[in-house]
Amino acid sequence: MSRVRIVGGQWRSRLLEVAHVPGLRPTPDRVRETLFNWLGQDLSGLSCLDLFAGTGILGFEAASRGAERVTLVEHNARAHAALQQAVKTLQASQVELVRGDAVKFLESAARRFDVVFLDPPYNQGWLERIEPLLGQVLQPDGWLYAESEAPLAGLAGWNTIREGRAGQVHFHLMRGSPD
């Protein structure tokens, strides 16, 4: 097992175990630092969704920075077990784990989130599949963060306002407009 380090907030420098799952690529430290500089370091009161949780590092970073509720959705059993252990280790009562499919989660979600993190497996069409469902779960003035194998101008009516690239990873922060 490898590890990933939380870069900010109350759990700064804590290491989390990463399950060995093919295709799992934790968001690099430098990219997370940039993302949370863009979003702000204090996420107090916000509700966040890490839809393709994998290591859960984006969700744990948000919780570490005060997010009131963080939902991690992960389909893979080994990755989900590692997430369960991380929640226990950190005593992260504000983190809810859901084992399941991202599309099914979005179709049945009963609440909206202020921030949605998307870091799906590459080259499998996930962003295209979930795009029509994002409006159901993201607050109209919410933040959408997406990592992809190619640049994105926007998703589901949210426009890219900040973007960067680290190696093969293109990362984007998008914002909707309040209705």
Give the distance from CA 62 to its chain's centroid.
9
pLDDT in tens, 20-56: 898 888 899 999 999 999 999 999 999 999 999 999 9
pTM to 2 decimal places: 0.95
Over residues 144-160, the mean pLDDT reads: 92
- Average confidence score pLDDT of the chain: 93
Give how many domains the chain has, as a whole number.
1
- Domain range spanning residue 25? 2-175
Domain with residue 46: its CATH number is: 3.40.50.150
